[in-house]
Amino acid sequence: MTTTKTPIKTSSNYESSSKGTFRAALTPQALNKMEALKRAGSLTDQQKKEKNEQKAKRAKFNKTLRWLDETFPNCFNKKAPKPLKIKIELDLFEAIKDDDDFSNLNIRNALSFYTSRLSYQESFLTHSHRVDLDGNQAEILEEKHLDYAKTRILDIKERIDAAN
């Protein structure tokens, strides 16, 4: 008497077959866990929306900085900044009033970033005057502004040291 052996189906048989067959072999609990892991690795629609909004804000911010650098090169210079005239934002608001690409908020954010940099604060130690949009001398730097810049320089350097 001869006996024939029938192959036993194992999970490896399912793995080698189509993906749908493999999923069908999983228990409902395993399927739920797999779906949860898949969701955990992906962003929700709200997170995607927020990420896109942040990306758009960053692009607008960078565009504003480039515009300042290109439009007023004698005033805004990343490599060799100069102390800016007090209330220079009012001159900039006037310059953008007919331009829909920029808002007062864009200008304020760009100015805040530009003036918070270490190189800008250090410019107070090497210049005697502030400059207007054309790079012409404006107000003379006062002692209180020099003192404030020195304090800011120390603060910035402490933050840099703490980060390293």
pLDDT of residue 4: 54
Which pTM does this prediction carry?
Answer: 0.69
pLDDT of residue 18: 47
> Does residue 135 belong to any structural domain of this protein?
yes
pLDDT of residue 17: 44
> Does residue 28 belong to any structural domain of this protein?
no
Taking the CB of residue 75, how many other CB atoms lie within 10 A of it? 23
Give how many domains the chain has, as a whole number. Answer: 1
> Does residue 33 belong to any structural domain of this protein?
no
> Does residue 65 belong to any structural domain of this protein?
yes
Taking the CB of residue 120, how many other CB atoms lie within 10 A of it? 21
pLDDT of residue 25: 66
**R_g of the chain computed on alpha carbons:** 31
> Does residue 32 belong to any structural domain of this protein?
no
Share of the chain above pLDDT 90, in %: 60
- Range name among 41-45, 55-59, 85-89, 109-113 with the lowest pLDDT average: 41-45
> Does residue 23 belong to any structural domain of this protein?
no
> Does residue 45 belong to any structural domain of this protein?
no
What is the span of the domain harbouring residue 73?
Answer: 51-163
> Domain containing 96 — which CATH number?
1.10.1710.10
> Does residue 114 belong to any structural domain of this protein?
yes
- 94-133 pLDDT tens trace: 998 888 888 999 999 999 999 999 999 999 999 999 999 9
